[in-house]
Amino acid sequence: MATQKISECRQLGRKMTHRLVFLKPWGKIPAKDWTDWRWQYRNRIRTLPGLADLSDLSPECILSCRPVVGAYPLSITPYYLSLMNMADGSDPLRRQCFPHPDEIRFSLGGVDDPLGEERNMTVPGLVHRYADRCLILATNACATYCRHCNRKRLWKDRSRKGAKASLRPMVHYIAGHPEIREVIVSGGDPLTLPDPMLGWLLTSLRSVPHVEVIRIGSRAPAVMPMRITRELCSLLRRHRPLWFNTQFNHVHEVTAAAARACGMLLDAGIPVSNQSVLLRGVNDSCEAMRDLLHALQRISVRPYYLFQCDAVKGTDHFHVDLHHGMGMMETLRRSLSGLCMPRYVIDLPGGMGKLPLQPFTFPSSWPAEEKQHFFDKNP
């Protein structure tokens, strides 16, 4: 019976065709609630007991995860939860957002801030690393916390809630730096902000004459696609040229609801690009990556980047060997069209920029040790 209900939940999450959704602990969920992003956001799973009610986590596992959640909070939308096979501990979606004891085990290479963002934070919440563009961390909140996130250090910081008081100094800084032509609005997830607040921020940025392009980074299409509403698309359309970058990491995330959300953005004249992260046990096979890239192409989402997982503290269990990643890309390149191929890149430690990892840069004929030596000598 439990297996049957899990199957029903996954089917509904992927196809969104039923009138009612059954998902503990809410019982039957009316479709008008299920498709309301505010309901999804209010009803996120944020505690281990709540997660235990919905999965096969043993009491021992719950106990071992308590210090993990104490360090790195838990948040999963009911929608994203419905896409998982709860009975499968290796489910690729579950692996991305369920806490794991490895997150707080000692790591030689992991750091809290692998991109050196704090060092380049000219005002609180604004990172100005490159001359012509800057990054706004509009909020620390996310609909679903990804356990591989390179900003998981910020999850417990309540000082950045997307309030005007914290956003105004960022806009003021941008207005005073005419070299900035492009602004990336990220977080957290900026689409956790209500439309009026997001609209105020975008209008404020558009009022700066030298800001030509705005980019938004959000996982909402993958983890809470009902956030993409007609009202939101109308708001975003008013602030074009505006580019939307999202993150799908597995084909199971490319649902009918996700396709509809991306289609609404595209219909509003908002280009949508995908930035995946290469994750062990999620998408580290040619088959898994090919399925994802084909699915993205089918819904007109451009595969933009495939990131090597950043050396964030507590993410060793997600890391894929560079040699393996390069081998995957070479195999995929022989079987996929150019439109399907993302750029495989690694963020250099300390915020030194992205390094493309291409076959011509990293020949497959090199021994694995020589490839690692190349990376170590070219920071």
Write a three-state SS string for 290-324.
Answer: HHHHHHHHHCCCEEEEEEECCCECCCHHHCCCHHH
How far is it, in rounded angstroms, from Cα 62 to Cα 76?
A: 16
Burial class (CB in 10 A: 0-12, 13-18, 19+), 164: exposed
Out of 97, 149, 233, 309, pick the active-site residue.
Answer: 149
- For residue 228 the two structure tokens come to 């993409």
Query: Would you state the pLDDT for residue 349?
Result: 80
Out of 14, 133, 181, 206, pick the active-site residue.
Answer: 133
Helix or strand or coil: residue 276? strand
Radius of gyration of the chain (CA): 20
- For residue 95 the two structure tokens come to 């692996």
Q: What mean pLDDT is predicted for residues 345-359?
A: 83
Q: Which range is least confidently modeled, 155-159, 220-224, 256-260, 333-337?
A: 155-159
Which residues have a Cβ under 8 Å from the Cβ of 220 and sit 6 or more positions away? 37, 143, 189, 191, 227, 228, 246, 261
Give the number of other CB atoms < 10 A from CB of residue 346: 19
The residue among 61 and 243 whose pLDDT is bigger is: 243
Burial class (CB in 10 A: 0-12, 13-18, 19+), 266: middle
Q: Where are the domains of the chain?
A: 2-104, 118-377
Give the number of other CB atoms < 10 A from CB of residue 104: 18
Out of 97, 142, 262, 309, pick the active-site residue.
Answer: 142
What's the order of all strands across the beta sheet hosting 182-186? 121-123, 126-130, 133-137, 182-186, 213-217, 242-246, 272-278, 302-308, 343-347, 354-356
Which residues have a Cβ under 8 Å from the Cβ of 86 and sit 6 or more positions away? 6, 54, 55, 56, 94
User: pLDDT at residue 299 above 60?
Assistant: yes
Q: Active-site residue 146, yes or no?
A: yes
Instruction: Tell me 340's DSSP state.
Output: G
Q: What mean pLDDT is predicted for residues 122-134?
A: 95
Q: How confident is the model at residue 353 (pLDDT cuts 50, 70, 90)?
A: confident
Q: How confident is the model at residue 337 (pLDDT cuts 50, 70, 90)?
A: very high
- For residue 55 the two structure tokens come to 């999965």
Q: Active-site residue 290, yes or no?
A: no
Place of tokens 């509904």: 12
The predicted-structure confidence for 172-210, as pLDDT tens digits, reads as follows: 999 999 999 999 999 999 999 999 999 999 999 999 999
| Amino acid letter, 304 | Y
The predicted-structure confidence for 32-57, as pLDDT tens digits, reads as follows: 999 999 999 999 999 998 888 877 77
Q: Active-site residue 333, yes or no?
A: no
Q: Active-site residue 305, yes or no?
A: no
Out of 9, 146, 262, 309, pick the active-site residue.
Answer: 146
| Amino acid letter, 108 | L
Beta strands in 225-375 (DSSP E): 242-246, 272-278, 302-308, 343-347, 354-356
Query: Would you state the pLDDT for residue 16?
Result: 40
Out of 94, 95, 151, 153, pick the active-site residue.
Answer: 151
The predicted-structure confidence for 12-37, as pLDDT tens digits, reads as follows: 444 443 345 555 556 678 889 999 99
Q: What is the CATH number of domain 118-377?
A: 3.20.20.70
Q: What mean pLDDT is predicted for residues 123-137?
A: 96
Q: Active-site residue 61, yes or no?
A: no
Q: Active-site residue 129, yes or no?
A: yes
Q: Active-site residue 354, yes or no?
A: yes
Q: Active-site residue 149, yes or no?
A: yes
User: pLDDT at residue 59 above 90?
Assistant: no
The predicted-structure confidence for 71-114, as pLDDT tens digits, reads as follows: 999 999 999 999 998 778 899 999 999 999 999 986 667 888 88
- For residue 181 the two structure tokens come to 């032509």
